[in-house]
Amino acid sequence: MSEAKIPAPHGAAARRGPFRVGDRVQLTDEKHRINTITLQNGGEFHTHKGVLPHEAIIGLPEGSVIENIDGFRYQALRPLAKDFVLSMPRGATVVYPKDAAQIVQFGDIFPGARVVEAGVGSGALSISLLRAVGDGGFLHSFERREEFADIARGNVSTVFGGDHPSWQISIGDFQDKVVELEEPGSVDRVVLDMLSPWECLDAVATVLAPGGVWTNYVSSVTQMSRVVEAIRASGQFTEPECFETLVRGWHVDGLAVRPDHRMVAHTAFLITCRRLADSADGIPKAKRIKDHSYSAEDLSAWTKDHDEEEWTAEALGERGISDKKLRRAARDAHQAVRVRDAQDSETDSED
Ligand SMILES: C[S@@+](CC[C@H](N)C(=O)[O-])C[C@H]1O[C@@H](n2cnc3c(N)ncnc32)[C@H](O)[C@@H]1O
């Protein structure tokens, strides 16, 4: 097939060409402060350094340097996906780009894969998974809270310039819904980012194809321990692998070359394992501690005989979000899509 006949993957067009109405634009000023705006007909960007009309940006190529009416300069670029997820409206905590990259690699998310994920939260990980499965794949995302799913829909539409044809969100608890909606053994990859992934073990074992990869993203050591022990005890998966990713930026300036003083030290742990064939007996870890020196009481603090009600977001140190903030995040998440739709209907009525 000649290059001209290959259809552009979904969302590619929105990332190319001159700036258009509805685009999100990252403006970096002379002090390297970053602001992100959505281009609108008649829109203006105001700071104490003056006013920058959106018309001065629309139609320019990416990477242009633009002066506001007082001569203050801004470098204009479309945010990369990694920039977008850190600044996008959010309800729940997002998967950081450094971890999303690892999930795609160690979770082996391939073009054309059938992937299920939960929860959707703000849709940060969904964006990476959709980019990895591509137009020929399928991402089925499960979220128990409609308000979060709504924010995620807005964020995903902003990145891909509209609905993604390979994406479906289902509302409800993953462990109940996935077995209703996915055929047994039909899913290539499962990715869970939630408080209690061990509650989903039977559902994952049902829908995941033999050899399929299950990736868990959990923020605390107690969750990691509990999910690993549950996976081992089930005997349906390979020995889990656990790791975290630390990314340290560097300051490079002449002879002053050193690591940055500050970094995001902890986000979460990743746990991966693979589904064994139903007929297979798992090969247990070679060396396990034989004589436990810890008390049953200590162990029960993170095993299943512990009171389920104590595994709350607050107990694990996660902050909640008010209804007011959730409503504002949903409105902001759909802003780019609203502006783009308004522009499209304006263009249609002119034609
Ligand atoms: C930390 S957030 C996910 C963030 C998301 N991965 C992102 O990158 O934006 C966790 C989400 O899981 C959802 N959740 C928790 N348990 C669930 C379950 N059993 N089924 C479906 N969703 C669940 C919560 O409502 C919450 O939105």
Q: How far is CA 256 from the centre of its chain?
A: 35
Q: pLDDT value at position 301?
A: 65
Q: Using the mean position of ligand 1's atoms as its centre, give its distance from the Cα of residue 20 in Å.
A: 33
* CB of 92 closer than 6 angstroms to any ligand 1 atom: yes
Closest ligand 1 atom to the C-alpha of 217? 6
Q: Which atom of ligand 1 is nearest to the CA of 196?
A: 16
142 lines ligand 1 (CB under 6 A): yes
User: How many DSSP H helices and E strands does the chain contain?
Assistant: 10, 15
Q: Which two tokens stand for residue 177?
A: 């819904």
Test site for ligand 1: of 142, 194, 195, 311, most ligand atoms within 8 A of the Cβ: 194
Q: Is the CB of 93 under 6 A from ligand 1?
A: yes
Establish whether residue 321 lines the binding site of ligand 1, counting it when its CB lies within 6 angstroms of any ligand atom. no
Q: What angle do CA 294, 295, 297 make, to 5 degrees?
A: 135
Buried b (16+ CB within 10 A) or exposed e, 193-211: bbbbbbbbbebbbbbbbee
- State whether the beta carbon of 81 lies less than 6 angstroms from ligand 1: no
pLDDT value at residue 289: 63
Domain ranges of the chain: 7-79, 83-310
Taking the CA atoms of residue 249, residue 252, residue 256 and residue 262 in that order, the dihedral angle to the nearest 10 degrees is -20
Radius of gyration of the chain (CA): 23
Cβ(124) to ligand 1 under 6 A?
Answer: yes
Domains 7-79 and 83-310 alike in fold: no
Instruction: State which CATH number among 3.10.330.20, 3.90.1150.10, 3.20.20.140, 3.50.50.60 fits the domain covering 7-79.
Output: 3.10.330.20
Is residue 263 within 8 Å of residue 246, measured between CB atoms?
yes
- Please tell us whether the domain made up of 83-310 is placed in CATH 3.40.50.150: yes
Is any ligand 1 atom within 6 A of the Cβ of residue 193?
Answer: yes
How far is CA 23 from each of CA 101, 153, 193, rounded to the nearest angstrom? 24, 17, 29
148 lines ligand 1 (CB under 6 A): yes
Q: Write out pLDDT tens, residues 10-69.
A: 888 888 999 999 999 999 999 999 999 999 999 999 999 999 999 999 999 999 999 999
- Residue 143's pLDDT band, with cuts at 50, 70 and 90, is very high
At 279-335, the pLDDT tens digits run 888 777 766 666 666 676 776 666 655 566 667 777 777 777 888 888 888 888 888
